[in-house]
Amino acid sequence: MRAMILSRIAPMTEAGAPLEAAELPVPEPAPGYLLLRVAACGVCHTELDEIEGRTPPSLLPVVPGHQVVGRVERLGAGVTGISPGARVGVAWIFSACGSCEQCLSGNENLCPDFRATGRDAHGGYAEYMTVPAPFIHTLPPLFADTQAAPLLCAGAVGYRSLRLTGLRNGETLGLFGFGASAHLVLQMARHQFPATPVFVFAREETERDFARELGAAWTGPIGAIPPASIRACIDTTPAWTPVLAALETLMPGGRLVINAIRKESRDQQALLTLDYPKHLWMEKEIKSVANVTRRDVREFLTLAASIPLLPEVEEYPLADANRALVALKGQRIRGAKVLRIP
């Protein structure tokens, strides 16, 4: 089978793209697993973090990709309740132990044995992959393959982020960064909280234009002064500077939710400007988002179908995975980038 593999940690640049095309054997599904024929796989900023070593894979070489849509090709021993040909999705959560305190309390995203698709197990930048049967997700027929792919991570983690804000209808929401996840959060927020004004802070004017098209009440660059204080913010950027900007805009008792698996060290100097009275005083809160649960993915897919929430996507062939990642790193973003794997 064709696949794009990561064999070494390296900078993602146009001149030195780290992912390599390879021909690999089609994997055999172990007991409790199934074999999936991949049709599409979303491209996520987390892949950049893996490739460049901020959240390095636990095995090398590895096939990246954790927003996977495909058809069930073959069942491993003991798998029931699903038939070959069924269309399913695979998200960031590849597996969890199911028996620890975190799993039993519904927080399998915090399981010490949490395994991530495309980081701790081979993912969807390939024609086939295997996955534990309990960790697949049935996809609403409304969505095309390439539309469904970004819902499995950008959408699901955005859903979790919005829930963790504790936002109530009519309270102001701020979005810092406007890529694959934030453009879905904006549409979710407008559906769930119709009286809530959404302010979008983004570096590029094209991103701010896109946010206004989707119904943002106001847009501005990172660091701009919004027309009102903000009750809750979600930061989806890889940098530290937006964190300080978000904290400065929060009203007393407001909450910032950071939806990023890592922050880039090149911007670490910004933390030295943290000012307690300006950024944290008056009971402001900071909460991070760590992974997703299966419940997050499934609840979000149901919500997305009911809205309906159709992500804007830019398609690339599998062989152009490096080009898609370079564009993502360069913040050339409108919606989500998806690899199509015929």
Q: Which domains does the chain have, with CATH numbers?
A: 2-138+312-340 (3.90.180.10), 156-288 (3.40.50.720)
Q: Scanning the structure block, which residue is given the tokens 């004004």?
A: 197
Query: Are 28 and 75 a contacting pair, CB within 8 Å?
Result: no
Give the per-residue pLDDT at 272: 62
pLDDT of 267 strictly over 70: no
| Relative orientation angle of helices 180-192 and 294-306, to the nearest 10 degrees | 60
pLDDT of 140 strictly over 80: yes
How large is the average pLDDT for residues 307-326? 93
Q: Scanning the structure block, which residue is given the tokens 């106001």?
A: 218
pLDDT tens column, 40-96: 999 998 999 999 998 899 999 999 999 999 999 999 999 999 999 999 999 999 999
pLDDT tens column, 141-189: 999 999 999 999 989 999 999 999 999 999 999 999 998 789 899 999 9
Query: Are 15 and 327 a contacting pair, CB within 8 Å?
Result: no
CA dihedral 93, 97, 102, 105 (to 10 degrees): 90
Cα angle value 63/234/142 (rounded, 5°): 60
Instruction: Tell whether pTM > 0.85.
Output: yes
Conformational region of residue 143, where left means phi above 0, alpha means psi within -120 to 50, and beta covers everything else: beta
Query: Which region among 203-217, 230-244, 261-275 has the lowest average model confidence (pLDDT)?
Result: 261-275
DSSP conformation class of 98: S
